[in-house]
Amino acid sequence: MANITETAEKFFEACEAGKGWAGCADCCTGDATFSAQAEPLADISTLAGYCDWMQGLYGPLPDARYELKSFATDMARGNVTAFATFHGTNTGEGPVPPTGNKVATDYVYVMDFDGGKISHMTKIWHSGIALQQLGWG
């Protein structure tokens, strides 16, 4: 069985590449939950829902990518934390017509594990700034 660091890395790469739940599910418990204090994510409570939401960002932001800044495992608490900057340009169709605006937004994932799989993830993100950068807010 892969250790939690390897599992978290596999999940992070798949989620951030827009693979959706289909590309992330094997890293997670079937009922994995999700939380964030960010308005665009307010109605998402499952990790499956979040993974599919991330996949949907590739429509309005077809050049989306991330820059990983830090990746750390806390074995005592059974979690892995990833800090990154998400980049993209709004050139595709989405919630508003393409603005051509770019986004560079910092975020953190805290992935909690149970039995070697992610059982909950918290996203820490200031969505208001990201939406302003894109011209969506």
Number of domains in the chain: 1
pLDDT mean across residues, the chain? 96
pTM equals 0.95
Instruction: Summarize the confidence of residues 72-84 as an average pLDDT.
Output: 97
Question: What does the pLDDT read at residue 2?
Answer: 66
Tell me the pLDDT band of 100, cut-offs 50, 70 and 90.
Answer: very high
Identity of the residue numbered 107: Y
For residue 4, pLDDT beyond 90: yes
Tell me the two tokens of residue 137. 């807010």
List b or e across 87-99, with b for residues whose CB sees 16 or more CB atoms inside 10 angstroms.
ebbbeeebeeebe
Hey, how many other C-beta atoms are within 10 angstroms of the C-beta on 31?
A: 10
* 137 pLDDT tier (thresholds 50, 70, 90): confident
**Which CATH number characterizes residue 56's domain?**
3.10.450.50
Give me the domain span that covers residue 83: 4-134
**CA 27 to centroid of chain Cα atoms:** 14
Q: Please give the Cα distance from 117 to 7 (Å, whole number).
A: 7
Contacts of 79 (CB under 8 A, 6+ apart): 4, 73, 110, 111, 112, 113
